[in-house]
Amino acid sequence: MEKSLLIVESPTKVRTIKKYLGPEFEVKASLGHIKDLPPNLLGVDIEQAFKPEFQIISGKNKVLKELKQAARKASHIYLAPDPDREGEAIAWHIAEELSDKDKSFHRVLFHELSKRAILEALQKPEPLNEPRFQSQLARRILDRLVGYQISPLLWQKVKKGLSAGRVQSVAVRLICDREREIQVFVSREYWSITALLTPGETDPDRGAPAIFEAKLVKIEGKAAKVTNQEQAENLVAGLAQETFRVVKLDRKERLRHPTAPFTTSQLQQEAFRKLRFPAKKTMFLAQRLYEGVEVGSDGLVGLITYMRTDSTRVSKEAVEAVREHIQQRFGPDYLPARPLTYPNKKGAQDAHEAIRPTAMDYPPEAIASFLEKDLLALYRLIWNRFVASQMKPARIDQTSVDIAAGKTLFRATGSVLKFPGFTSLYVVGKDTEEEENGEKGGRLPLLQTDQVLGLEKLLPKQHFTQPPPRYTEATLVKELEEKGIGRPSTYAAIISTIQDKEYVKKEKQLFHPTELGFLVTDLLVKNFPDILDVQFTANMENNLDLIEEGKLNWVEVLENFYQPFAQTLVRARSEMEQIKGQGIPTDIVCPKCQKAMTIRLGRNGPFLACSGYPQCRQTMNFTRDEKGRIQPETASEAEGEAEKICAQCGKPMVVRRGKFGSFWACSGYPQCTETLPYAPGGAEAEPPSAAPTGQVCPTCGSAMILKKNRFGGQFLACEKYPKCKTARALETDMPCPQTGCTGNLVSRVTKKGLRFYGCSRYPECSFLLWGKPVKQTCPQCQSPLMVEKTSKKEGTFLACIKKECGYKETKAE
């Protein structure tokens, strides 16, 4: 019997889908894209209607060969990459490579990896969606045109390795603009006045007169503005003599309604607020939940629907299932008479459902033992939000009391939760402390109009207006979505890129632009105003959506973009300011020659250098104060003690800042390269550990000693360093298991401090092992080595070094 071929993106999906399909299907994975534009060329023929020059991605020839071999045995090929633009492009390229007149190609869309959804999709296959593919194609070419033509200009004018992007550069601009708002913000003093009042009667629950708070809101009928201490004290003195009388009571029941199930951007925001997960981590975990997780005897189960969506729509079957769950777990009081529906935001793509559990058969508490901590936390968040979205609203009794005192008006508010509704399961997180405080309210005593209240105390309090807050991952995602910049599915990659390129840094979960971020943004805003314009970028995203809907031609969209862009590019090549080799002028004066200092960009970040270079080589580190003003960091400020003298040449030593922190360096560099470790407070750091080994240096015959590098790893080095620079990795007595290799395994450490073991003959042999090797033969495949690993679920165990073997055993104590 001839088999049909089903092609998905990832091997995990292959394992999940195979559970539900019979022997008539062979399932293969493409491992993502198989074709792309060339990595080192523009790859777009602008003169020929923007014809792309796609090529097989390096390393994908083997995958493509396997797909072609499988396709020869099948007449029906089902293409099932992810149901979005990127997935459509993957399907299109696979069809091109496997094209055969005797083959029938079918596009299937799996919105969830459950048996029902998979079988239904296979019964109703679709043709390849050309408009959706063209939308992805237009986006890819747009990004290539911008990135591959502006980035080289930045390399020439500023620094090698920089990049610009159609969306990423706008995201950096938002962060820079916010920082400048903070820098120019002038804080103003103001005072609040709170009255502690009592109705006089006894509170039956507390056995004492009930005391409640009321805040000053009006003075002589206008909004209260108390700007200094003197004004506040005068008001307090006068109010102490006044009678406080209730003039208005407003009691009403307020409903707090549940929120819709998650869209992609909402999931990213809420996962940050509640779990402190970066967007990249959230999407990685969501991908795992979608593709399938081992759930006991059920094997691999796709636990959530497709995680890239901006729709709030939910299928009828899912609504019925969750309503039944609410009825059974919470009771009829929590179940609305009719299912709740939620409108999509303007411009939302409705191809996929909201993010929800695929089935109500797997509540978080039932499968907690099968999921690691973070995966379970995200699944519980998705589960609770979905269930809460179909529950009754919370009912709150809210009371507002206006209290007159002389020419002032005070207001007290209180709220009592009468029925928790959906809040018994889920409450939306808040971005700021002010938002959280705004939700709080307490019980007020029973009051009546014209009732005279007793004044216990008046509390004046000083405050200062605050600048706009810096972006967190949650608020940046929210801003990008609200302004229509990029797509929710790209936010994680954007946020990761702008940090990797060191345009922004994160401190206490808040984004700060770096000196490099400011510099590049200012240059791009000046020379490419359209590319950095928020509205322009949003309009382009809308055009891409219209291409997908078949309402715009993709070539025309590119032509309308490129013609003005090409003219701007030509102008920028001649007019963009030259930073490389010249620096950015400042008003800081060189302490040696009195010339202006400039900001230069080095390998380890920005620094101040004299504009008189090379005649004057004065340099110094600098910081910026809260207003963005440059603060030079002198040597005495940096080390907090008297100047050090170089032991080699006698010149003063200065504190430099390198990639791995501060260090002492001779001011006579480059003639003298003497350096010393540096510890906080100016002390000289303890030198790296050095222990004798009994081994002899093969170069000079001196002793080899054991030393530690800056990452914490150990290595062997000649004791005569720096005169003799012989060094080698610390070898184990375990031979490299690679067939035919004569090397031994050596301990190494990555720049991030992660330890691994690799072959001593690297780069001739590239074998590496994550985990500690153990001299023990695998009882299943007879491999000469095992590796020691640790996981939260299984503790410490030994595993075979061959992944295909899969043997594991608990490590003996």
Strand order of the β-sheet with 644-645 is: 644-645, 652-658, 661-666, 675-677
152 CB-near residues (< 8 Å, 6+ apart)? none
- Report the interhelical angle of 130-157 vs 534-548 (nearest 10°): 150
In the block, which residue shows the tokens 């295909």?
804
Buried b vs exposed e over 517-534: b needs ≥16 C-beta within 10 Å? bbbbbebbbebbeebbeb
Catalytic-residue membership of 306 = yes
Q: Find the radius of gyration of the CA atoms of the chain.
A: 33
CA distance 253 to 417: 10
578-586, Cβ contacts within 8 angstroms, sequence gap of 24 or more:
578/157, 579/157, 579/158, 579/159, 579/519, 579/523, 580/156, 580/157, 580/158, 580/159, 583/609, 583/611, 584/519, 585/611, 586/630
Residue 445: both structure tokens together: 């005593």
CA distance 232 to 381: 46
Residue of 635, 688, 643 whose CA lies nearest to 662: 635
How many residues can be counted in the chain? 813
CA angle 11, 15, 16 (to 5 degrees): 115
Pairing of strands 755-759, 744-749: antiparallel
Residue 506: both structure tokens together: 């994160």
Alpha helices in 576-666 (DSSP H): 635-639
CA distance 606 to 620: 10
CA distance 469 to 179: 9
Q: What is the 3-state secondary structure (H, E, C) of 264-318?
A: HHHHHHHHHHHHCCCHHHHHHHHHHHHHCEECHHHCEECCECCCCCCCCCCCHHH
Dump the DSSP string for 505-542: EEETTEEEE-HHHHHHHHHHHHH-TTTT-HHHHHHHHH
Options 20, 78, 148, 306, the catalytic residue: 306
Amino acid at 443: R
664 CB-near residues (< 8 Å, 6+ apart)? 644, 653, 654, 655, 656, 675, 676, 677, 678, 684
| DSSP E strand stretches across 389-451 | 394-405, 408-419
Residue 687: both structure tokens together: 């030198």
Tell me which residues are annotated as active site.
306
